[in-house]
A and B are shown apart, each in its own frame.
Chain A
Amino acid sequence: MVEFPQPQHTPCPACGASVPREADDDHVCDEERRLDFLLIQHRVALAGFDNQLAAWLDSPHGRFAAWCAKHGR
Chain B
Amino acid sequence: MGDDTKRIARRIIDEAFNSGRLEVADELIASGWIEHDPAIPDPVTGPEGFKRVTGGYRAAFPDLNVTIEHQCAEGDTVCTRWTARGTHQGEFWGVAPTGREVTVSGITMDRIQDGRMVESWTNWDTLGLLQQLGAVPAAAHA
Smallest CB gap from B85: residue in A = A18
**Which among A6, A17, A18 is the interface contact of B131 at CB below 8 angstroms?**
A6
Interface magnitude class on chain B: 20 to 34
Chain A binding surface, main DSSP class: mixed
C-alpha gap A8/B103 in the complex (Å): 8
Least CB distance from A43 to B in Å reads 7
**Which among B87, B89, B100, B128 is the interface contact of A8 at CB below 8 angstroms?**
B128
Further contacts, 10 of them, CB under 8 A, given A4-B140, A18-B101, A18-B102: A7-B125, A7-B127, A8-B105, A11-B102, A16-B99, A16-B101, A36-B99, A39-B99, A40-B97, A40-B98
Residues on A with beta carbons closer than 8 Å to the beta carbon of B139: 4, 6
Least CB distance from B110 to A in Å reads 24
Once the chains bind, are B138 and A16 in contact (CB under 8 Å)?
A: no
Interface magnitude class on chain A: 10 to 19
B132 within 8 A of A: yes
Once the chains bind, are A16 and B98 in contact (CB under 8 Å)?
A: yes
Least CB distance from B126 to A in Å reads 11
* Residue ranges of A at the interface with B (Cβ–Cβ < 8 Å): 4-11, 16-18, 20, 33, 36-37, 39-41, 43
C-alpha gap A11/B88 in the complex (Å): 11
Once the chains bind, are B127 and A40 in contact (CB under 8 Å)?
A: no
Knowing A16-B100, A40-B98 are in contact, say whether A11-B138 is a contact too (CB < 8 A): no
Least CB distance from B75 to A in Å reads 32
